[in-house]
Structure 1
C-alpha cells in the first residue's frame, strides 16, 4: 500500500474510479497508472457499486454527478457494508455539497479541476488512514514539530510539553484519529461534546482557537490545524 504501510507496493494498490466524464477518466487513468497504481473504471453508479463489491479496491474515486444515481446515494450505499476510503471528485463547489458528501461517509473531497500532485497526496493520505484503521495504528502521532503520544496522553512541540485541557486534548486526538481527512463541524461536535451539541459551532470555534494558540507558532497562519472553510477542519499529515 505505497508509503501508507510500507509493506506493500503501489503496484498492489487497486483504485476504483466511478466517473462518467470521459476526459476526467482518461486523466485519472494516465495519472494513476503512471504512478504505479492499478485501476478499475466505470461510468455508472450501479456498475461502480458492483465492482466495489467484487474487487475490494483499496481506494474509490467517486464523482457525484453520475447518470443513473446521485453520488451521495452511492456513498451512502457503499457505507452500508464498506469502509474503503472514498475520495469524492466533483464540479460541485458549494460548501453544503462538500459537507453533505463528508457527512455521507466520504473521506475527502476534491473540486474539479484539480492537479495531479494534490490528487496523489490525497490518495496517500486515504491509504495511510485506511491502514491505521485496520488496527495497525501506532501509539504516537508525529508531524513536523508536533508529537502526540496517545498511550501517555502527552502532547509536545519541539520536545516541550503542551498542557491541554481535557476537551482540548479530546478535540486534538479526534483530529489525530482522522489525520489528513476533513472532519466536518457536526462530526467533531458530536464526537467531542456529544450528539446533542452537533449544532453548537461556537464551541468548536472557541476550543479550536485555544488549541491553535497552544500548538501553532502563528495561530493566524496554522501549520497543523487547517480550516476547510464552511466545512470543518483537517489535521495536516504531510
Structure 2
C-alpha cells in the first residue's frame, strides 16, 4: 500500500516543490496552506508522515504539531527559517527539524529515514 504525506505550508511555491519531491518518492500527497487546514488534512487522511512549516498564517507550526499530537503519532518534519527555536518544536512532538532553504535531496532522505524508523517502531512483537 502506498504511503501518504500531508504538507502544511502557506507558500505555494515551497508547497509545490515539496509535493513534487514526495510524489517522485512514491508518496500520495495532500497539501494544506494553513495550520487549521493542515490539522484537518491530517485528521482526514491519516498520513504516514507530515511536513510542517513553522510560519503559518493562522498559528505557528509548533501549535499545529500540538493539535496534531492529540490524535496522530505520524512523524513530523518541521521546516523553518527561524534559527532561534531551541527545543520548543521537539517538546511539541516534532521528530526532525530542517532549515530553509533546504536541498530537495536532503528533504527526501530525511522523509525516507523518518518513514523507515516509524515502520520499525510500529512493529509490535507477538
Q: Name the structure 1 match of 2:89.
A: 101
1:39 aligns to 2:29 (yes or no)? yes
Number of aligned pairs? 125
Counterpart selection for 1:60 from 23, 42, 50 = 50
- Between the aligned partners of 2:122 and 2:3, the Cα distance in structure 1 is 16
Q: CA-to-partner distance for each residue in 1:128-186, whole Å, 9 max, x for gaps?
A: 1211221258xxxxxxxxxxxxxxxxxxxxxxxxxxxxxxxxxxxxxxxxxxxxxxxxx
Following superposition, the deviation at residue 98 of structure 1 comes to 4.3
Do the aligned residues in 2 keep the contact of 1:15 with 1:40 (CA within 8 Å)?
A: yes
- What is the alpha-carbon distance in structure 2 between the residues aligned to residue 23 and residue 98 of structure 1? 27
**Residues 1:132 and 2:120 aligned together:** yes
Map Cα deviations across residues 195-227 of structure 1 (whole Å, 9 max, x no partner): xxxxxxxxxxxxxxxxxxxxxxxxxxxxxxxxx
Superimposed CA distance per residue, residues 81-138 of structure 1 (whole angstroms, 9 cap, x where no aligned partner)? 21110000111122xx14111121100000001111211111111111211221258x
Q: Give the 5 Å matches for 1:1-238.
A: 12-94=2-84, 97-136=85-124
Listed as ranges, the gaps of 5+ residues in structure 1 are 1-7, 138-238
Q: Tell me the TM-score normalized by structure 2.
A: 0.92
Distance of 1:65 and 1:27 partners within structure 2: 17
Alpha-carbon distance in structure 1 between the residues aligned to 2:25 and 2:114: 16
- The answer to whether the 8 Å contact 1:98/1:109 transfers is no
Question: CA shift at 1:35, angstroms?
Answer: 2.3
SS, match of residue 92 in structure 1: coil
Task: Note the alpha carbon deviations across 1:44-81, whole angstroms, 9 max, x for none.
Answer: 11111111111101100001110011111111111122
CA distance in 2, matches of 1:128, 1:98: 26
TM-score with structure 1 length normalisation?
0.50
What is the DSSP-based 3-state SS (H/G/I as helix, E as strand, rest coil) of the residue aligned with 1:87? strand
- Structure 2: unaligned runs, 5 residues or longer: none
Bigger radius of gyration, 1 or 2? 1
